[in-house]
Structure 1
């Protein structure tokens, strides 16, 4: 990832200073693999590692599933700068106990490496990285160690300052390779994270990517020790799984004639869905096909030809975000994670969850959302059934009628519906025709109870395997917006949500052009141009959206809600103020 999510601010106790200083001294002396006397006189040996299969394909398969220590050692300038506590051995023990078999430890070296020849690396920082790596290895985890945000901090300048950047990159990997040359083979090296090359031509970018990967390979192999047959991970430009860029990487890997090489790419879903822009509010056919095609390309380009693939990062961009409303509707996100696990198993790809702080709370060592993690974990081994949505909306202002959903069986068999531990009766409470399930009006009336706005009941659709699909029965009325005034830097639309939730916002001017910072689509980006504030009863139009408004122009907004309701609103920016007007139905 290029941009950090802002994590919660916690701190924890770090390692003893004496141990760290002694380790740093040994690194400087080139004795980093030597046993280190810890406080109290006990020798700390390089940890015993898992037994790594000889074949790269088998080794990478044994690494499934994997987890990223994101926003820690890759944070800028230091490990706790982005809010995570210092990593501990207990963290890796927890990760291992939760079923992970490998960890990716992203490291940004820029603040700890001189930018002038000979491009020295701070011994204390290298010692800290080694300490964290050794803790993970000691917990019987494979470890992938890399060069991370350096890619956009200084490596990106290689197209303009080739010789100096390449010399720094080579010096960095020379130092890393020397420091870790005697580590167990369960430690893997990854050349660089998501490299980009500025304004270079496509052909030149291909050359530069090849040069970085092959330079990294040559340095590590020449450093001796266990680096002679260590598994090495080579990336595409940007970590992108496009066919052209994976073909380039395939060419590089085959030309190196090294059976210990691994291809890596990243996958964050179809972009409109991943960030909720351009109307990408559902995990629809476009999003599903994007994922299916990406994993098919990984299989056809690499794994079917004996080259293993390590999916170094996957997830949804900026989701979950525990500091802002969810961009992606929860059930739709669960469908994505379920699909990733299935597609990866079919393609023979090992997956590494990108976790900047959002999944595992590193202060408590507990999952922030255990139910979400249950879906991720289940996807590693089996499929789960889902449905077209995870809510059934019942309008309070109208008589209750039957409601239908489409079941997505995903190779399972539907076993029935449950409410509060009791199985509902097919034919009386609901009916099934093909893959369509319909809840009767009588059952919905009973489940809605006194019909307060919001969730009245939760059902479970159970299948022959995998996790049950939860369906909320929600009473709602069409949200009501009110007139408001504000400044050109702060404006919020008073909103009575009435049990509904905001899905997206469409913004245009009277001439049909798009309004807002995302000019290529009328559907603006969730939490970037607008954001619901449910506790305060408003929809916030962000500074970015307000800045993009034309002076004196009327922007016509359509707020789309998950019930299917659409509500119109107008805003005008003039002389430092913003006026909002609700559009009344005629």
Structure 2
């Protein structure tokens, strides 16, 4: 993917450095309560439902109505709802209000244990308040019902209870006791290097006692602050280790900010916080143990004013009281695999094409093991088997595991850290244990962007050493483990490349494949995925791909297409998925199929997705249509999930912390699309565009892409591009290439033919080549007809233009014979006369074929006579008769007339006539011959 890796660091640092909301509790995965914790404050359990109710397909197994099924008085922030259930997926609580705005708010379980899903009422409060919006005054205002809903699969609920847990002081017992909950003042830039700036005088809060934060800026700590910075107070629980959790309440009263040269900023915050923490390990320490109270809204609103103010801050003073605290120790880790689990070793006797088709729809473990700084370096949590279990239960069949290896070399010889190798093996087995396919690759190693002559020798060496280690480690694994040589190989950030860099990628693929095969065992026949340059699907890249003579390889393609809808995150970028986008995908898959699959080479779509632009309906339609195309051609497709859901490159599906799908509708669309047969209509291979394209004021009505709409082989001697259009002025054809000088080469039509209601403009290959030659000074050095050409546009010349068809023809296609027919009904036969003229270009009568049919004509063989045929040209000889050269036959109720003599009918100045009679064998009368159909072909092309 082109941009995801460059942008994700900044986005994910926002998510992980600021690990809780400004106000209210955070949303990280809850913890299972320590069974040894004394619950002194637990109230009596209230049973809300007991019995056995079922639902499926996102239905509701249990509905509890306000005042009948539950009391709002029991829904306190320290309460917990427990749902006893049986299902492959955890249930969901749906909060419903028809009284206010038809609210339907889904909330996932905080954690599950022993067949019981536990929901934090505090989480329900936050979710409902957010859904309610303005006018919200009291907890659960206007709440009408609580539903226990399934997550798309069968659900049985047998019991629902609510318990007020209270917050117990099981760590701090004395008022005034020093805790490990700290407060500090900070600023952090949210651009560039994400500089963190913490003020001096971090304080440990006293239990149930007002604590004064007196942060000092004694060393000009904010000198590097910029206008993007967040500024405020951070509350952290330093007691937590990985997996530990805590629940705490604290109150912040007045905050005073002093800045040199400014009046004191006094903020009467006076706010209570009710937080739940769960600590998880990330590359720089712990995540999920802090609350960030940002004060940006109180600062100067203009960027320069805000920056200057922060640089002058000297003190941050605040009164903070920790009112309640509960510590929950991390539960003991349970084995992720059964004690008797062994990795699969079976190699099935199936072709690579069948194996690839069996991968079906897959999911990328994105921005994780390929991250800079380790598995959690870009903010996603450590991968667990439960995550992959969720994917399996949802219906995914493959997990692609992007892996960065070069951060885990332990010497200068590319030796991989054995501990890291085992970690990759563990993650691969998460998929294999679920009977899924697992794909391991080289992803984000520096060599990925070194497809150039300068680095080639080093990269070839590294590929051989690294792949030999990986392949040796996994050589006994079965065929559901797949290798992929390199992710998106390219030269630096050159995403277009050239023939030299394409060839280097071919060499890299060959070297990696050789290293894998040389390890023997199951690697002899293991499927290996080989990418094109950048894994791109552009015509030049796929046509330059050299597929080794190996029965167990497939081509790896990444296609976030169409780009403006799927990948472009710029403000105002396309958010709708329409017919033109569908047509683009149709052509893309057809190109890949023709280039590879029809030649016996499987194709895998290793990455695709569409960014969240608040356009769920369109993303669902896109997912369905994309997967349907992929399924039709047997190309498995793997959604890129980067773990981000709302901002920037947001392609996440699975929330890896809550183990729920944020967009289950997209998941279902992918799976349904793959399994739904697609009807591919037959198309004329000569037609490049058929529809309606418009432009004006020197715009472009139609753009044709290399590979999707035309290929170089289309251009042969005598080639012509014909354009059917309506406009006062003829259109122009524009050739656009990436080489210097040929970005915008204009070509005027050689000829224009005016029909009754439209016109046809013809552009000859000769004129196109001459224009391109004139624009490209070193044209002859390339040795190709249109060096670097990638797009052909049909543009207007200042007037409104409508283009309805663009098609390939030849010089014969510029010649348009016109035929008129006169039919006379005799007593027992039909007498016809045909007049043939040339509206455009001299025509050869031997290339004309006339077909006449009518509903009343017999389908039996009949007698046909040519009484006369002659040509009247405009020069000597003034007359040519060719009666005996005319053949007329009737079959299946259609009269076909052809001329076996070559005779030239001149443009507009001459004509030919033919007189034909035909009759039934028994000379009986014909039936109704109204509404006849006359078709005229010239050199095999239908022209009338």
- Scaled by the length of structure 2, the TM-score of the pair is 0.35
Q: Measured at CA, do residues 374 and 158 of structure 1 come closer, stay the same or move farther in structure 2, by a change above 3 Å?
A: closer
Select which of 575, 594, 618 maps to 1:332: 618
> Take 1:40 and 1:192, find their aligned partners in 2: how far apart are those partners?
30
CA separation of 1:349/1:155 partners in 2, compared to 1, >3 Å: closer, same or farther?
A: closer
Distance 2:615 2:528 in 1: 38
Aligned mates of 1:336, 1:86 — CA distance in 2: 30
Counterpart of 1:578 in structure 2 is: none
Where 1:78 maps in the other structure, the secondary structure is coil
Distance 1:50 1:135, change over 3 A: farther
* Matches of 2:336 and 2:403, distance apart in 1: 30
Q: Is the 8 A contact 1:46 1:183 kept in 2?
A: no
Q: Is the 8 A contact 2:432 2:480 kept in 1?
A: yes
Partner of 2:371: 75
State the Cα distance separating 1:242 from its structure 2 match. Answer: 1.5
Structure 1 counterpart of 2:160:
none
Equivalent of 2:530, from 225, 234, 244?
234
The corresponding residue for 2:668 is: 374
Task: Give the structure 2 partner of residue 311 of structure 1.
Answer: 605
SS at match of 2:386: helix
The 1:288–1:46 alpha-carbon spacing in structure 2 relative to 1, beyond 3 Å, is same
Quote the Cα distance in structure 1 between the aligned partners of 2:474 and 2:354. Answer: 23
Equivalent residue for 1:167? 461
SS at match of 1:145: strand
1:54 aligned to 2:350? Answer: yes
Structure 2 counterpart SS, 1:188: strand
The answer to whether residue 419 in structure 2 is matched with residue 124 in structure 1 is yes
Output the CA distance in 2 between the equivalents of 1:107 and 1:245.
Answer: 24
Structure that is richer in helix per residue: 1
Give secondary structure in 1 for the equivalent of 2:415: coil
Shift of 1:201: 6.4
Q: How many angstroms apart in 1 are the aligned matches of 2:524 and 2:441?
A: 18
Match of 2:589 in 1: 295
Shift of 1:290: 2.2
Say whether the 8 Å CA contact 2:366–2:401 is kept in structure 1.
Answer: yes
Equivalent positions of 1:253-402 (< 5 A) are 253=547, 256-274=548-566, 275=568, 280-316=574-610, 319-320=611-612, 326=613, 329-357=615-643, 358-382=652-676
Q: Secondary structure at the match of 1:349?
A: coil
Please list the CA deviations of residues 492-520 of structure 1 after superposition, one character each: whole Å capped at 9, or x if unmatched.
Answer: xxxxxxxxxxxxxxxxxxxxxxxxxxxx9
Number of residue pairs matched?
Answer: 350
CA deviation vs aligned residue, 1:523-579 (integer Å, no higher than 9, x gap): xxxxxxxxxxxxxxxxxxxxxxxxxxxxxxxxxxxxxxxxxxxxxxxxxxxxxxxxx
Q: Specify the structure having the higher radius of gyration (Cα).
A: 2
CA distance in 2, matches of 1:51, 1:331: 41
Contact kept, 8 Å, 1:240 with 1:267, in 2: the verdict is yes
- Higher alpha-carbon deviation: 167-176 or 267-276: 267-276
Q: Mark the CA change 1:44 to 1:126 in structure 2 (over 3 Å): closer, same or farther.
A: farther
Structure 2 regions of 5+ residues with no counterpart?
A: 17-27, 32-241, 244-333, 644-651, 682-742, 744-944
Give the 3 Å change call, closer, same or farther, for CA 368–162 of structure 1 in structure 2: same
Rounded to whole Å, the distance in 1 between the matches of 2:508 and 2:621 is 37
Unaligned runs of 5+ in 1: 15-37, 321-325, 385-408, 412-519, 521-586
Contact 2:632 2:674 in 1 (8 A): no
Matches within 5 A, 1:167-186: 167-186=461-480
How do 1:453-468 residues align onto structure 2 when only pairs under 5 Å count?
Answer: none
Is the Cα–Cα contact under 8 Å of residues 270 and 286 in structure 1 kept in the other structure? no
Does structure 1 retain, via aligned residues, the 8 Å contact 2:490–2:497? no
Aligned pair in 2 of structure 1 residues 91, 53: CA closer, same or farther (>3 Å)? farther
Q: Name the CA shift for 1:96/1:128 in 2 (closer, same or farther; >3 Å).
A: same
Which has the bigger relative contact order, CA under 8 A and spacing at least 6?
1
- The CA deviation at 1:344 is 1.1
Report if the CA contact (8 A) 2:364-2:400 is conserved.
Answer: yes
SS of alignment partner, residue 342 of structure 1 = helix
Aligned counterparts of 1:41 and 1:237: Cα–Cα separation in 2: 38
2:636 partner SS = strand
* Distance of aligned partners of 1:124 and 1:286 in 2 relative to their CA distance in 1, 3 Å threshold: same
Q: 1:365, CA displacement in angstroms? A: 1.5
Give the Cα separation in 1 of the matches to 2:337 and 2:675. 45
Q: CA deviation at 1:52?
A: 4.0
- For residues 221 and 332 of structure 1, do their structure 2 counterparts lie closer, same or farther at Cα, with a shift above 3 Å needed? same
**Counterpart secondary structure, 1:354:** strand
Q: Deviations over 1:294-330 (max 9, x none)?
A: 11111111112221111101112xx12xxxxx2x633
Pairing 1:135–2:430 present:
yes
Q: C-alpha deviations, 1:330-384, integer Å up to 9, x for none?
A: 3222222121022112222111111112101111211012233332332222379
1:217 aligns with 2:509: no
Deviation at residue 130 of structure 1 after TM alignment: 0.8
Question: More deviation in 47-56 or 204-213?
Answer: 47-56
The corresponding residue for 2:867 is: none
Asked whether the 8 Å contact 1:68–1:104 carries over to 2, the reply is yes
Aligned equivalents of 1:46, 1:163: Cα separation in 2:
39
Alignment of 1:172-211 (within 5 A): 172-198=466-492, 202-211=498-507
**Contact 1:158/1:166 (<8 A) preserved:** no
- Whether contact under 8 Å (2:448, 2:488) holds in the other structure is no
Larger relative strand fraction: 2
Using a 3 Å threshold, how does the CA distance of structure 1 residues 281 and 86 change in structure 2: closer, same or farther? Answer: closer
In structure 1, the residue corresponding to 2:555 is in which secondary structure? strand
CA contact (8 A) 1:52 1:186 kept: no
Distance 1:94 1:126, change over 3 A: same
Corresponding position: 1:155 with 2:155? no
In structure 1, the residue matched to 2:398 is 102
CA contact (8 A) 1:49 1:138 kept: no
The CA distance in 2 between the partners of 1:374 and 1:43, in whole Å, is 33
CA deviations on 1:113-135 (whole Å, 9 max, x unpaired) are 25x63121111111100111122
SS at match of 1:379: helix
Q: Greater shift after overlay, 216-225 or 283-292?
A: 283-292
Q: Call closer, same or farther: CA 1:39–1:62 in 2, change over 3 Å.
A: closer
1:77-124 Cα offsets, whole Å, 9 max, x none, are: 21111121111122222211111111111111121125x631211111
CA contact (8 A) 2:629 2:674 kept: no
Query: In the alignment, which of 349, 358, 362 is matched to residue 66 of structure 1?
Result: 362
| Alpha-carbon shift at residue 283 of structure 1 (Å) | 2.1
Paired with 1:302 and 1:410, the residues of 2 have a C-alpha distance of 18
Give 1:70 deviation, angstroms.
1.1
Give the TM-score of the pair, scaled to structure 1. 0.55
Conserved 8 A contact 1:67-1:353: yes
